[in-house]
Amino acid sequence: MDFSMSEKQGEWLDRVQSLMAKDVRPAVPPYKQQDAEGDCWIVIRH
């Protein structure tokens, strides 16, 4: 069987890898920090 990617599949793989590197991975440390800070859904009563 031939499991090599087509040109179109390679283009999509490059796009997804670029998105992950540019937008997703840099957002992980701030997310973890914010998550560790505690509950962000606090009810404020007047």
Residue 5 neighbours by CB under 8 Å, 6+ apart: 13
Structure confidence by residue, pLDDT tens digits, 1-44? 999 999 999 999 999 999 999 999 999 999 999 999 888 787 88
Q: In terms of Cα–Cα distance, which of 9, 28, 31 is closest to 17?
A: 9
Domain-wise residue ranges, the chain: 1-46
Q: pLDDT value at position 38?
A: 83
CA 13, 27, 33: angle at the middle one, nearest 5? 150
Q: pLDDT value at position 45?
A: 86
Give dist(CA 14, CA 3) in Å, integer.
17
Confirm if 24 and 31 have CB atoms less than 8 A apart. no
Q: pLDDT value at position 18?
A: 99
* 29: Cα within 13 Å, side-chain hemisphere: 1
